[in-house]
Structure 1
Amino acid sequence: MPAFDIKSITGVLPAMVTPFDENEKLDEQRLRAVVNFLIERQVEGLYITGSTGESFLMSPEERKRVVEVTMEENRGRVPVIAHIGAISTFHSIDLAQHAERAGVDAISSVPPIYWGFSADQIHGYYADITRSTKLPMIAYNVPMAALGFDMIKRLSSIDGVAGVKYTATTHHDIIRIKEEIGQDFIVYSGADEMAMSGLSFGADGIIGSFYNSMPEIWIALRDAVAAGNLAEAKRLQEIGNAVIFFSLSRGGIPSIKRAMAWMGCDAGYARKPLGGFIDQAADDKLKAEFRGLRDERKLSGVAFLDAL
């Protein structure tokens, strides 16, 4: 039985990184540190083994171990949504059932990718997974395999599909989802650079990559939107976006992990081809570049930049 009801899982949820060591092996000690680091910074949940978590660069056994370690270290402090998506329905069901046994509160999945699957095949994929567990499912609308409004509406009729992680820029559809599917259908805005827009358009929460490295910005942004202070929310979004776009040109996930390390949480390294080991010289160069961004843009309030 999940510890948290899906309707209570709102707010700021990092799409948690997965630490790998210098040899690209899963690093369980660093993983435990990441879980505690994020919870201590008052995030309101964790979205694990997703794209930011490099799930598609891991074996099923590694993905299961990340779920197990996360749940052991979390100890029921915050809700956990586990991404269990794979191309194969068979493997996704196996991951979903394991996640249920491990005690997660909900599961999530991208639609099956690689082949051009039909609408009926995608519908069948989600229906088969939700039948296999009692956990609520959060469908994942992602650019590489976009679902679109009509498919989201169709999936919402499946018993167990409780909402959608909406990682797209068409935020007018968030309003439409709430109006046509229903207010109880959960929407998580998944585009970090449009968090303000997603929340303003009615998203129940935000899930994103850069909530690992600067959760304080997104928590403050969420609070500003809730208070109707859109000028402050815009200011915070601009700060977040400056860091996001600067980081992406230097490798998004590797930059996030180094930023966390500069705050005392060594999140390890990214697996190739996303990244790999960063030696001291490369780390010093990256630090210097971020200092330059901070000083040029006069950015303040970002903990990892303040720490440089």
Structure 2
Amino acid sequence: MQQVAQRPPATECWLQGIWASIPTPFHDDGRLDEAAVRHNAVHFSDALGLAGVFCNGVMGEGWSLTVEERKDVVRLTLSASQGRLKVAPVVTAGSLRDSISLAQHAETAGAHHIVLAPPPGLYDEAELLRYIDRIAKSVSLPIMLLEATSGGFGARFLERAAAECDSISGIKIGSGNRTALDFHNSFGDSLTITDPIEENWLSNLQHGLMQTLYADPEPYLFQSGKRRPIEEYFQAHQSGLEERASAISAELSGLRALYSRTIIGPMQGGKNPVPALKTWCEFTDLIVGPPRLPLKRLDDGAQEDIGRRISSLHKETGIT
């Protein structure tokens, strides 16, 4: 990998704790459920103790939201949590003007940082760098870029962006731990690199790597107001109790396998994860409603199968 150009050294202090990529709740008729957005924000902050949430991304059906609805999600989440929950919205939109509008609204509303994915269309690397630079000049918030095999910037482009673009603060690596480690080793002194997969986090912590869990759905699928095993093993690690941390982490193996089979695996195969994600959420204290068209709920048989497995695994781990 090309090494990063000189810039002031950065640390992970600006991005800490456990973050989650959250769903957007809808009424049965497809309208944004504003009361549910508020309810969920309080659940994330108070029941789960999350540091922050990543909204209006793939898991949040951001592609289905209008610009005003995306602003509403940010506004409602921040107002309901009353400063107890940091918020990071994806601001990529169909036009540069809308992207800038979303970014500026996020800053005015009090968001912690903004997130950029590639804009729709065909652009070369120089054009993408200009896109990022123009949005960066419109706000003073930190900027995270998304890397993923689908829906994110490619790794090769991000190597160039990390080396040349002084306006970004971090990169969420979605295509696997090996890529995350490569980016951390090459750019971790200047950028915050995150691996969102919960299953990798304890190992990353124990090796002094990527101390923030940012940001996938596991923190609200694998935890509840009754028990927070991810936070438990993080605190055990922080206290130097590595055997205890490993034992707690191992309790989540069944949930991880189900999550991989129903959400991550299908997504990696090109299937939208939201219908399965919202089925999972029905067995938590979140209010999510149906996916928005053209998506639809899973069929009854699939919902019953996932529900039965989730209920059993939640009981085994003491989450419910």
TM-score bucket (shorter structure):
0.7 to 0.9
The TM-score normalised by the length of structure 1 is 0.82
Structure 1 runs not aligned, ≥5 long: none
CA contact (8 A) 1:200 1:225 kept: yes
Alignment of 1:31-110 (within 5 A): 31-40=37-46, 41-110=48-117
Letter in 2 for 1:127: D
CA contact (8 A) 1:163 1:185 kept: yes
Q: Distance in 2 between matches of 1:122 and 1:236?
A: 42
Q: Distance in 2 between matches of 1:159 and 1:233?
A: 39
Query: Structure 1 residue 239 and structure 2 residue 254: aligned?
Result: yes
CA contact (8 A) 1:17 1:212 kept: no
Shift of the 129–59 alpha-carbon distance from structure 1 to 2, 3 Å rule, reads same
What CA deviation, in whole Å up to 9, does each residue of 1:186-239 have, x standing for no partner? 122124554455556622322102323223343345446654447436624523
The TM-score normalised by the length of structure 2 is 0.79
Greater mean deviation of Cα atoms: 119-128 or 132-141: 119-128
What CA deviation, in whole Å up to 9, does each residue of 1:120-151 have, x standing for no partner? 11111111111110011001112215534443
Q: Which residue of 1 aligns with 2:191?
A: 185
Greater mean deviation of Cα atoms: 266-275 or 75-84: 266-275
Match 2:303 to one of 255, 279, 286: 286
**Secondary structure in structure 2 of the residue aligned to 1:212:** helix
Letter in 2 for 1:160: S
Q: Distance in 1 between matches of 2:314 and 2:110?
A: 44
Deviation at 1:94, TM superposition (A): 1.3
**Secondary structure in structure 2 of the residue aligned to 1:68:** helix
Query: Structure 1 residue 266 and structure 2 residue 287: aligned?
Result: yes
Q: Distance in 1 between matches of 2:201 and 2:94?
A: 28
Q: Distance in 2 between matches of 1:192 and 1:272?
A: 29
CA contact (8 A) 1:186 1:204 kept: no
CA contact (8 A) 2:281 2:288 kept: yes
**Secondary structure in structure 2 of the residue aligned to 1:132:** coil
CA contact (8 A) 2:283 2:307 kept: no
Structure 2 runs not aligned, ≥5 long: 1-10
Q: Distance in 2 between matches of 1:56 and 1:299?
A: 35
* Number of residue-to-residue matches in the alignment: 293
Q: Which residue of 2 aligns with 1:17?
A: 23
Q: Which residue of 1 aligns with 2:174?
A: 167
**Secondary structure in structure 1 of the residue aligned to 2:169:** strand
Shift of the 208–80 alpha-carbon distance from structure 1 to 2, 3 Å rule, reads same
What CA deviation, in whole Å up to 9, does each residue of 1:8-63 have, x standing for no partner? 42221110111001111100001111111111211121111111111011111110
CA contact (8 A) 1:141 1:168 kept: yes
